[in-house]
Amino acid sequence: MIPLLGLIIGILVGVFIPYNIPYQYSNYVAVAILAALDSVFGGIAATVRGKFDMKIFISGFFGNALVAAGLAYIGDQL
């Protein structure tokens, strides 16, 4: 129930409070979103296996997103 509520709130915020990401950052944000989605699917898999830990999920979610955006930036600079 809580994830569904979070999804609904996220959609409403996205629709009614539009935010445009500057073009020069769009590649980094796209890669960060993909990394965050990887963490979400990993959390779903851990829940199915009965090994979900919220601390690991939160740290992995933000950690993966930041590392992915950083690697995309470094790749862009190279």
Q: pLDDT for 27-48, tens place per residue?
A: 888 898 899 889 888 888 998 9
Q: Which amino acid is at 22?
A: P
Round to whole Å and give the CA distance between 35 and 65: 5
The pair of structure tokens assigned to 68 is: 């992915």
**What is the C-alpha separation between 27 and 35, in angstroms, rounded?**
13
Considering the entire predicted model, what is its pTM? 0.71
How far apart are the C-alpha atoms of 48 and 54, rounded to whole Å?
A: 14
The percentage of the chain sitting over the pLDDT mark of 70, rounded to a whole number, equals 100
Q: What is the pLDDT of residue 53?
A: 87
Over pLDDT 90: what percentage of the chain? 12
Query: Are the C-beta atoms of 45 and 36 separated by less than 8 Å?
Result: no
Q: Which residues contact 11 (CB under 8 A, 6 or more apart)?
A: none
